[in-house]
Structure 1
C-alpha cells in the first residue's frame, strides 16, 4: 500500500501539469459587438511593444511577462501557462524561424549591464548568448542569426538619466516635472520637456549587432544623435531601420542602414514647418515602412515608403482615426490603431484607393505619392483607458485577433479582441 501511495505522489506533478488551464473571462463588447477576452490581469503583467514580435512562427503561442517569469498564451483558446520561472529585466521577442524567446537579466535594469538569454519554448532549455556592458537589445533579424540594439557610450547627465525609467508595476515609462508655478506638469508635457533635454545633451551612442551563435558584438554606426527603435526588416537579414529619437519636430527621425554600416538612408524628408513623423514600423512584407505623419493644419497621414522601389503611399486619417500606434495585418491588407484621447478604441482600418479620375494619368505618376483614405471599424471600446499605458496592439499571425494591453477595468491587463463580429 505504501508503494502505491509513493507511486501516486510521483505522478502528482505530471497530473497537475496535464490539468486543463482555466478558461479566461470573455464577453461581447456592448459598444462594438466584438468578443473580448481578458487574457491575463495578474499584477505586473507586461506585453511587448507594438513592433516587437510576441508570437511563435506557427502562430499558436504568444509570450508575455509577469513578475514570476515568461508566460505563453495559447492563441486558440487564450489559456496561459508559465514556461520560465525567472526574474527577468526585459522580455524581448520571439525568433522568426524557431519557437525561441529572447530576454535579458540585469541586477540593476534600465539599460545597465545585462545578460542576453534565449529559451526554447518547447523544451524550456535556456542558452546564454552574450553579456552587454549597457544598452538594450531591440530586434532579431529575419534568419535568426543576429540581434541588434543600441547603447550609450557615455552616461547622460544624472537628472536626465533619472527620468524615463519603467514603472515596475505597469511597464510604462515615468516622467515628472513641475511648471513655473511649482505644480506638477501633465504626463505628456513632462515627457516632451525631458525628451528635449535628452536630445540636447548629445550623448554619444552606437547601434550594434550580436551574433547569436558566437556572441560577437559589432558596431553598425555611432552618433551623438539619440539612437532608438532599432528594427530589422522581417525579410532582409542585413537591413535595419532605426530612428533619431527626441521631440519629432527637432529631428529627422526615420532611417535605414545595412549591418555593415553602409547605405544609410533617410526615409522621410519634411516639407512643412512643424511637420512631424514617427512611430515607424515594418510591414510584414519586410520592404514597406509605415509611419504616422502629421502636417500643419491638422492634416494627418498613415504614410509608407517601399525600400526597394522607392514608392510612397499615404492614407489620409480622418476624425477619430488617430492612434498612438498603427500596425499591419499579416496579409498586408488591413491596419489597426489603438486610438488616443480623441477616439478611444481599438480599431480596424480598411484602405481605400484615391478615386480621383486624374490620378491614373498624372504626369510622372510613378515618381509621385499615391494617396487614399481609411474606412473604420471599431473593435474594442477603450473609453475608460488612461493612455499613459499604451495599448500596443498586435495582430495574431492568422489575422483573427488583436491583442492589446489596457487599464479600462482599473488595472493593467492583457486583452484580445476578435476581428470578426460576434454572431
Structure 2
C-alpha cells in the first residue's frame, strides 16, 4: 500500500479546500482554509495539535461577526483532506483553549463551560461524554473555567483539570475509564495552562497568572510563572523567577519546556540541569519546537496601536542559524475572540499550522515545513 505524506495530502486537497497565499518577501506559500464570506476560522490553541499525525483530519474553530468572545462564542469544525470535505458543527461550542486533537486517531477532546466530551472526525460521529466536576463542587458556585486546554497523561489514563471556581483554583484529574474526579489540591492563587508531561504520567506543568479582583478589575501580580506538580503531592517553582516568562509548552521528549522570555526571546528550560537557554534572541510571543528541536516557529508582536498588535511569523533553522519570515497578520486585531497566530508544528512536524488575517477575517493556514527548511538551508 502506498503511503501518502501529509504534504502530498495537503497539496492534493488544496484546490478545493484551501487558497494559496504567498508571502511577498520570502516567497513562502501558505494554504488558507476557504470559508463562506461571513465566517472566520482559527487553529486550536497551540499547546496541543489541531490535526492528526497524517494530516488527514484538521480541526478548527469558527465563528461569525456576532460571536461575542472566545469563552463561549466559537464552534468547532473538521476538514477531511482525503475526502475533500469541510464540516462545520454549529452545536459544538467550546471554551477558549479547551479543544485538542488526539494525533494518533484524529479524535477531538473538548470542553464547554461544564462538561468534557470526545468524538471522532467523521461528520456522523456521536460525541461521548467524558465527565465533569462533582455536583457538590459546582452547585450554586461560579464555574469560571473547567479546563484551560485538555491534556491527557502519557499513559492515557487521566485528563488534567485546572478548574477555577469563584476565586479559587482546583487542580485535579478526570479518570478516563470511569469519569471519576481525583482532587489534587486547591489554591487561592490563579494557576492555569496545566499540561501533563508527554512522557511522565505523574508530572504536570502549571502556569501562574495575576490575581484579578472580579469587581474592581484591580490585579495583583505573580512573582513566579512556572511550577511542577507531581501526583504524589510534590509542588514547586521551576525555571527563571519573575514575570517575564510565558506561553509555555512541553518539548516532545519531555526533557524540557519551551517558553518565551518577553524581554529576551525564545527559551528552553532543561529539566535535568535546571538551566534556561536563550535559543532565539529578540523573537517570540508564542513559540513551538519540532520534535527533534532543530526547528522552531514563533509569532512576534510588531507594534501597538488602536487596533492592538500586528504580528509576524518566523521560522528558525537551528542547524544553519538562519531564520525567515513566512507570514504577517495585519491589520492588527485584538479582541475577545483570542485571534492570535499561535503557530505549531503538526503531522509529525511535516507542516506548521497557524491563524492569519485576510480581508478582515481570520483564517486557518498551513505551510509545509520542508519549504521553510529549504528556504533557510
Q: Which residue of 1 aligns with 2:158?
A: 146
Q: Which residue of 1 aligns with 2:268?
A: 304
| 1:60, distance to aligned residue in structure 2 (A) | 3.0
Does the 8 Å contact 1:97/1:144 carry over to 2? no
Q: Which residue of 1 aligns with 2:121?
A: 121
- Residue 238, structure 1, aligned to residue 202, structure 2: yes
Does the 8 Å contact 1:94/1:101 carry over to 2? yes
Task: Classify 1:98/1:30 alpha carbon distance in 2 versus 1 (closer, same or farther; 3 Å).
Answer: same
Q: Which residue of 2 aligns with 1:37?
A: 31
| C-alpha distance in 2 between matches for 1:329 and 1:259 | 28
Q: TM-score with structure 1 length normalisation?
A: 0.67
- Pairwise mapping of residues 214-363 of structure 1 onto structure 2 (< 5 A)? 214-246=178-210, 250-262=222-234, 264-270=235-241, 276-294=244-262, 300-318=264-282, 321=283, 323-342=284-303, 344-351=311-318
Task: Classify 1:269/1:38 alpha carbon distance in 2 versus 1 (closer, same or farther; 3 Å).
Answer: closer
| C-alpha distance in 2 between matches for 1:21 and 1:36 | 13
Identify which of 11, 18, 23 aligns with 1:24. 18
| C-alpha distance in 2 between matches for 1:253 and 1:88 | 30
| Structure with greater proportional helix content | 1
Identify which of 48, 58, 62 aligns with 1:52. 48
Task: Classify 1:391/1:119 alpha carbon distance in 2 versus 1 (closer, same or farther; 3 Å).
Answer: same
Q: Which residue of 2 aligns with 1:189?
A: none
| C-alpha distance in 2 between matches for 1:29 and 1:352 | 23
- Pairwise mapping of residues 93-242 of structure 1 onto structure 2 (< 5 A)? 93-95=100-102, 97-105=104-112, 109=113, 114-122=114-122, 124-132=125-133, 133=138, 134=143, 135-137=145-147, 138=149, 139-153=151-165, 155=166, 203-242=167-206
Identify which of 402, 412, 422 aligns with 2:352. 402
| 1:381, distance to aligned residue in structure 2 (A) | 2.9
Q: Which residue of 2 aligns with 1:71?
A: 77
Task: Classify 1:87/1:259 alpha carbon distance in 2 versus 1 (closer, same or farther; 3 Å).
Answer: same
Q: Which residue of 2 aligns with 1:160?
A: none
Task: State the Cα deviation string for residues 277-298 of structure 1 (Å, max 9, x = none).
Answer: 1111111112210111245xxx
RMSD: 3.1
- Number of aligned residues: 318
| 1:39, distance to aligned residue in structure 2 (A) | 1.2
Q: TM-score with structure 2 length normalisation?
A: 0.74
| Structure with greater proportional strand content | 2
Task: State the Cα deviation string for residues 44-93 of structure 1 (Å, max 9, x = none).
Answer: 5342111122222444322113359532235679x542275623233511
Task: Classify 1:408/1:70 alpha carbon distance in 2 versus 1 (closer, same or farther; 3 Å).
Answer: closer
Name the SS for the 1:49 alignment partner.
coil
Task: State the Cα deviation string for residues 85-141 of structure 1 (Å, max 9, x = none).
Answer: 623233511225543211234xxx4xxxx1211102257132111133433222222
| 1:205, distance to aligned residue in structure 2 (A) | 1.5
| 1:409, distance to aligned residue in structure 2 (A) | 2.3
Does the 8 Å contact 1:257/1:265 carry over to 2? yes
| 1:231, distance to aligned residue in structure 2 (A) | 0.8
Higher Rg of the two aligned structures: 1
Name the SS for the 1:229 alignment partner.
strand
* Structure 1 spans left out of the alignment, 5+ residues: 1-18, 156-202, 354-373
| 1:390, distance to aligned residue in structure 2 (A) | 0.9
Does the 8 Å contact 2:311/2:341 carry over to 1? no
| C-alpha distance in 1 between matches for 2:271 and 2:207 | 15
| C-alpha distance in 1 between matches for 2:262 and 2:202 | 30
Name the SS for the 2:318 alignment partner.
strand
